[in-house]
C-alpha cells in the first residue's frame, strides 16, 4: 500500500510504500491484551513492604506469665493480633511482578497497533524536520502547519497525550524544540512501544524510510 508523505509546511512531498506485514495486519484483542498486561507488570515498581512478627522492633520478652494471671496467654507483644505487632501475609518488597514476553509477540503487537492507527488515519509521515534554531516557537509553527492536513485538525485541540513524534535517531535540536509542548512525546524509532501507541492519539513519523526500518 502507498500513503502520502508531507513536509513541515503541510505540502505533499511524495509517497511511500508501506509493508503489509507492518501496516496491514488485522486487530488481535488477545495478543494486545497479553503484551500490554505483561509490559505494565514489568514496569511495576516493588515499593510496598510490611514487617512480620520477626522483623518488628521489640517484643523479646514475654508480656506476662503463662499461667496464674487469669488473662490469655501471650508470647510476644509483636504478635499480629497486638497493636503495633507484625503483619500477617502482607506485601513484601521481595515479590517480583515481572512477566515474560516473547520477542515475536512484542513485535507483532506493535505492528498490529500500527496497522490500526493507519486505518484510523492517525499516522502522519513527514519527510524531515528542519529547524533554524532549537526554539519552541518553531515547533509550534510546524504543529500549526500540519494541523491543516485532513484528519489532523485535532493536533491543536487535544492537549494531553496527543502526539508521539518518532525520529530515526536522537536529535538534540528537535528534542529541545518540542520538549516543552504539552502532550507531545519524542521517541527514537527503535524505542516505540505499544503502551505509548495506545496512550497517544496521533503518531508522526519523520524520515519514514529510515524510521520504518526499526519496526
Answer whether residue 36 is part of any domain.
no
Answer whether residue 62 is part of any domain.
yes
Q: Are 189 and 215 in contact (CB under 8 A)?
A: yes
Based on the structure, what is the number of domains in the chain? 2
Answer whether residue 161 is part of any domain.
yes
| 206/140 same-domain check | yes
Q: Which helix (H) or strand (E) holds 157?
A: none
| 116/149 same-domain check | yes
CATH number of the domain residue 131 falls in: 3.40.1370.10
Q: What is the pTM of this model?
A: 0.82
Q: Decide if pLDDT at 206 tops 80.
A: yes
| 83/108 same-domain check | no
- pLDDT band at residue 81, thresholds of 50, 70 and 90? very high
Answer whether residue 84 is part of any domain.
yes
pLDDT in tens, 150-167: 989 888 877 788 999 999
Q: Are 183 and 161 in contact (CB under 8 A)?
A: yes
Length of the chain: 215
Structural domain boundaries enclosing 146? 2-27+101-214
Query: Which of the listed residues 35, 70, 93 is the one where a domain comes to its end?
Result: 93
Q: Are 11 and 167 in contact (CB under 8 A)?
A: no
pLDDT in tens, 44-65: 988 999 999 989 998 888 999 9
d(CA 129, CA 171): 10
Mean pLDDT computed over 3-25: 93
| 151/125 same-domain check | yes
Answer whether residue 43 is part of any domain.
no
Q: What percent of the chain has pLDDT above 70? A: 100
SS3 167: strand
Answer whether residue 77 is part of any domain.
yes
Answer whether residue 174 is part of any domain.
yes
Answer whether residue 34 is part of any domain.
no
Amino acid at each position: 500500500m502507498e500513503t502520502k508523505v508531507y513536509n513541515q509546511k503541510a505540502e505533499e512531498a511524495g509517497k511511500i510504500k508501506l509493508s503489509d506485514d507492518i501496516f496491514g495486519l488485522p486487530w488481535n484483542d488477545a495478543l494486545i491484551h497479553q503484551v500490554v498486561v505483561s509490559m505494565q507488570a514489568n514496569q511495576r515498581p516493588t515499593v510496598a513492604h510490611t514487617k512480620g512478627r520477626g522483623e518488628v522492633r521489640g517484643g523479646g520478652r514475654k508480656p506476662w506469665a503463662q499461667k496464674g494471671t487469669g488473662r490469655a496467654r501471650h508470647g510476644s507483644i509483636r504478635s499480629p493480633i497486638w497493636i503495633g505487632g507484625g503483619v500477617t501475609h502482607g506485601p513484601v518488597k521481595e515479590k517480583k511482578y515481572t512477566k515474560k514476553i516473547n520477542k515475536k509477540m512484542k513485535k507483532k503487537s506493535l505492528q498490529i497497533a500500527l496497522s490500526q492507527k493507519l486505518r484510523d488515519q492517525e499516522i502522519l509521515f513527514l519527510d524531515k524536520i528542519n529547524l533554524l534554531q532549537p526554539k519552541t516557537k518553531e515547533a509550534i509553527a510546524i504543529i500549526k502547519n500540519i494541523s491543516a492536513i485532513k484528519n489532523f485538525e485535532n493536533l491543536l485541540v487535544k492537549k494531553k497525550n496527543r502526539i508521539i513524534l518518532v525520529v530515526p535517531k536522537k536529535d538534540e535540536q528537535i528534542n529541545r524544540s518540542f520538549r516543552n509542548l504539552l502532550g507531545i512525546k519524542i521517541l527514537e524509532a527503535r524505542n516505540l512501544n505499544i503502551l505509548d501507541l495506545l496512550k497517544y492519539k496521533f503518531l508522526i513519523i519523520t524520515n519514514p524510510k529510515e524510521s520504518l526500518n526499526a519496526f
